[in-house]
Amino acid sequence: MPNEKDVFKELPKEDLLSAGIDPTEKGRSATFIQVDNRPSLSRTLFKGVELMPIEEALSRYPKYRDYLGRAFSMVGKDFPQDTEGGFFLLVKKGHSIVLPIQVCLFLKKKQFSQKIHNIIVVEESASAYVINGCTSEKAATDAFHLGISEYFVEKGGYLNFTMIHSWNEGVAVRPKSVAIVEEGGMFISNYVCLKPVKEVVMYPTCLLRGEGARASFSSIILSHPGSLQDIGSRVILSAPNTSAEIVSRTVSMGGKIIARGHLYASSPEVKAHLECQGLIVSEKGTIHAIPELETDYRDVDLSHEAAIGKISKEEIEYLASRGIDEDLARSLIIRGFMDTDILGLPDELRKKIDELRDKLTENSM
């Protein structure tokens, strides 16, 4: 790949860091970067992982051509075909990749439409952590990102996938993804979106296809004035003893949030819980929580709790009585609400996200 070494120099370090991407690659087992439509770096440091541009993967491993669109067809969904670039990640059978694999999708040009298709395969009994940082330069206004992702977690596999959106006010984003989890497999999806963005619309679906498969979706979303974030997760529990959890914590500082969640039991003997919690800290903000539970069988355990509200005056006054001024009390409550512990991230990444969250909520009023 041309200029592999220089690609980190071309990209603003702060933007990368805020998206969880470590330019030093220390503590990472593989790195992939795509800038606009150009795959700019792919490097694998560990045996058991293959990470490369999708086009390269499909020509090297023809068998994966069948994977394009496979997950979407399994859940009866269409997907846009006009993509260019994207990455292919393969974690080979039986390999446990402890250090995170990092993938960065970067928007650089103004008015550019980045449309990519990614395939992630975690083979039988393999496990991996992925940090997918999506970010853009300030100059990338009126830009668009469409990310099609198909995840395949095979029997007994484990995938912990953290997506960090760190765009700017001028970027509209439409991720579309489907995850298929086979028997005994586990898919953990974490989503963080703290910085302003023009629009994010996404509703990933996870199909728990094999007995005992599990899924967990956790999101932390901060919405700024002018943003629209229509974000949800759907899990289809289609085999016995599958279980799922969807947790979202949304805070509107003036933007519009639609927090969706859908648990669908298409098999008996499944268990799942959905939790949508929203906090509105600005008069102009709106949050619409739409939790849905659906089942074809009686013998299921599906539950949800949803709560939306403002910061309670009682809590503010309580902290004030400890000598903490109102602004700090408010920030502390917002930060506490967006508790990154729910994501189970590596320490260093969690600290980074906490720092960003604290900075962005400092002047929350």
Partner 1 sequence: MALLEVKDLSVRVGDKDILKGIDLSIDRGQVFVLFGPNGSGKSTLLKTIMGISGYTITSGEILFEGRRLNDLSIDERANLGIAMMFQHPPKVRGIKLSQVAHLLSEDEARIQELVERLNLGYLFDRDLNVDFSGGEMKRAELLQIILMQPKLILLDEPESGVDIENISVMGKVLDEYLRESGASCFIITHTGYIIEYVKATHGCLMLDGNLYCVGNPQKLFETIRDYGYEKCKECTVRHAE
Q: What is the contact surface with partner 1 in residues (CB under 8 A)?
A: 312-315, 317-326, 332-333, 335-339
How many other C-beta atoms are found inside a 10 Å radius of the C-beta of residue 130? 25
Comparing CA positions, the residue from 48, 69, 231 lying closest to residue 157 is 48
**Based on CB atoms, which residue is closest to partner 1, 62 or 336?**
336
How many other C-beta atoms are found inside a 10 Å radius of the C-beta of residue 272? 25
CB of 335 to partner 1, least distance (A): 7
CB of 340 to partner 1, least distance (A): 10
CB of 229 to partner 1, least distance (A): 21
**Based on CB atoms, which residue is closest to partner 1, 169 or 315?**
315
**Based on CB atoms, which residue is closest to partner 1, 62 or 323?**
323
Could you tell me which residues come within 8 angstroms of residue 26 by beta carbon, excluding any fewer than 6 positions away?
A: none
CB of 5 to partner 1, least distance (A): 43
| Region of 17 on the Ramachandran plot (φ > 0 left; ψ -120 to 50 alpha; else beta) | alpha
Q: What is d(CA 59, CA 70) in angstroms, rounded to the nearest whole number?
A: 18
Q: What is d(CA 158, CA 278) in angstroms, rounded to the nearest whole number?
A: 29
CB of 63 to partner 1, least distance (A): 47
Whether the CB-CB separation of 257 and 281 falls below 8 Å is answered with no
Whether the CB-CB separation of 216 and 162 falls below 8 Å is answered with no
**Based on CB atoms, which residue is closest to partner 1, 76 or 336?**
336
**Based on CB atoms, which residue is closest to partner 1, 13 or 351?**
351
Return the H-helix or E-strand segment holding 251: strand 243-252
Q: What is d(CA 127, CA 29) in angstroms, rounded to the nearest whole number?
A: 13
Residue in the block written with tokens 């013998």: 299
What is the SS3 assignment for 275-297? EEEEEECCCCCEEEEEEEEEECC
CB of 322 to partner 1, least distance (A): 6
Q: What is d(CA 191, CA 163) in angstroms, rounded to the nearest whole number?
A: 5
**Based on CB atoms, which residue is closest to partner 1, 56 or 358?**
358
CB of 23 to partner 1, least distance (A): 32
CB of 334 to partner 1, least distance (A): 8
**Based on CB atoms, which residue is closest to partner 1, 138 or 359?**
359
Distances (CA, A) of 248 to 120, 148, 185, 279, 307: 24, 22, 22, 11, 11
**Based on CB atoms, which residue is closest to partner 1, 312 or 363?**
312
